[in-house]
């Protein structure tokens, strides 16, 4: 369990030079906010398949939130997280305080996500992706991973991190792990456990809306969006934020006549909790 930047650098230096054969240890990074669940377990297991040393960050990034109150309200389970990470054989857990990681209280220099950072997830939180990328870049500099592992549920984040890696010349491979889902189709997340039964049944309609979109993709983008919207019709517990289809090469809305692979994205609030999901579809 590493609490300071200096200790992290020192421990990583040790593990990289520990192999007597002279082969540098391959390092994987899984960056999280803590409050770990089965989705994170899959990321960590995948990281182990790609590296000799697995580093998990559990830093609750305040740059992702609007206010200090929102940051403080984010669920935390440090003891349970530590037990789970030990059981999984994680080599290093980086759990700094905000004062250690961001000693000025914020980051005066930030990575800018650009126009895409203001779309979809960034439309209601225009600060969000700049905060995500800034902390991710700092973790990259500190850990110097060979591979970084992400979940498929956060595809916009994955796209922007990959673009940052390309544009800033990080030498890092990214691995994306399929979304872990509950029996009702909902992606596993810390928010799911907070729903009551009625809200849970309502939220389960979100992945079904994506299934409806995929089933109608052969009729074109308008038909698949209409099918998804129709599947949510009359569900008053769902406040739909966005439902769109994007080109995976640009993450921009598909143009009329687009054929082939595309991504259907959805975000909604249910029972006061916000959910995102996505599905790959094939437009014909």
Between the CA of residue 187 and those of 12, 54, 180, 191, what are the distances in Å? 33, 24, 6, 10
**Cα 244 to Cα 263: distance, rounded to the nearest angstrom:** 8
Residue 19 has a pLDDT of 65
Q: How confident is the model at residue 22 (pLDDT cuts 50, 70, 90)?
A: low
Q: Is 97 helix (H, G, I), strand (E, B) or coil?
A: coil
- Concatenate the DSSP letters of all residues of 236-261 into one string: TTEEEEEEEEE-TTT-SBPPTT--EE
Q: Check if the beta carbon of residue 252 is closer than 8 Å to that of residue 281.
A: no
Helices (H) and strands (E) in the chain, counts: 11, 8
pLDDT band at residue 18 using 50, 70 and 90 as cut-offs: low
Structural domains in the chain, sorted by start: 5-177 (3.40.50.620), 192-279 (3.30.1300.10)
Residue 110 in this model has a pLDDT that exceeds 80: yes
What tens digit of pLDDT does each residue of 48-77 get?
999 999 999 999 999 988 888 888 888 889
CA distances to 6, 39, 145, 159, 259 from 112, rounded to whole Å, are 27, 28, 22, 14, 31
CB 274 within 8 A of CB 268: yes
Closest CA to 140 of 25, 57, 45: 57
Nearest alpha-carbon partner for 275 in 172, 166, 200 = 200
Query: Is residue 23 pLDDT above 80, yes or no?
Result: no
Which residues are identified as catalytic?
40
């Amino acid at each position: 369990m590493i609490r300071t930047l200096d200790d992290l650098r020192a421990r990583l230096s040790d593990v990289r030079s520990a192999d007597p054969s002279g082969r540098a240890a391959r390092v994987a990074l899984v960056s999280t906010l803590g409050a770990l669940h089965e989705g994170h377990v899959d990321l960590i297991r995948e990281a182990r398949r790609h590296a000799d040393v697995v580093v998990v960050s559990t830093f609750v990034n305040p740059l992702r939130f609007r206010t200090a109150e929102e940051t403080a309200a984010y669920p935390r389970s440090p003891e349970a997280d530590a037990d789970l990470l030990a059981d999984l054989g994680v080599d290093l857990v980086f759990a700094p305080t905000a004062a250690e990681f961001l000693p000025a209280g914020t980051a005066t220099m930030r990575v800018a996500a650009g126009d895409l950072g203001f779309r979809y997830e960034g439309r209601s939180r225009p600060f969000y992706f700049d905060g995500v990328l800034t902390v991710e870049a700092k973790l990259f500099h500190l850990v110097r991973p060979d591979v970084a592992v992400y979940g498929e549920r956060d595809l916009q984040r994955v796209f922007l991190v990959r673009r940052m890696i390309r544009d800033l010349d990080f030498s890092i491979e990214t691995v994306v792990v399929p979304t872990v889902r509950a029996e009702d189709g909902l992606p596993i997340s810390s928010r799911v456990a907070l729903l009551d039964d009625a809200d849970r049944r309502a939220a389960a309609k979100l992945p079904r809306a994506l299934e409806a979109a995929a089933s109608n993709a052969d009729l074109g983008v308008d038909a698949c969006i209409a099918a998804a919207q129709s599947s949510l019709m009359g569900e008053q517990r769902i406040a739909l934020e966005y439902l769109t289809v994007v080109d995976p090469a640009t993450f921009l809305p598909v143009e009329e006549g687009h054929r082939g692979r595309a991504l259907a994205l959805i975000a909604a609030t249910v029972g006061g909790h916000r959910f995102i999901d996505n599905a790959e579809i094939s437009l014909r």
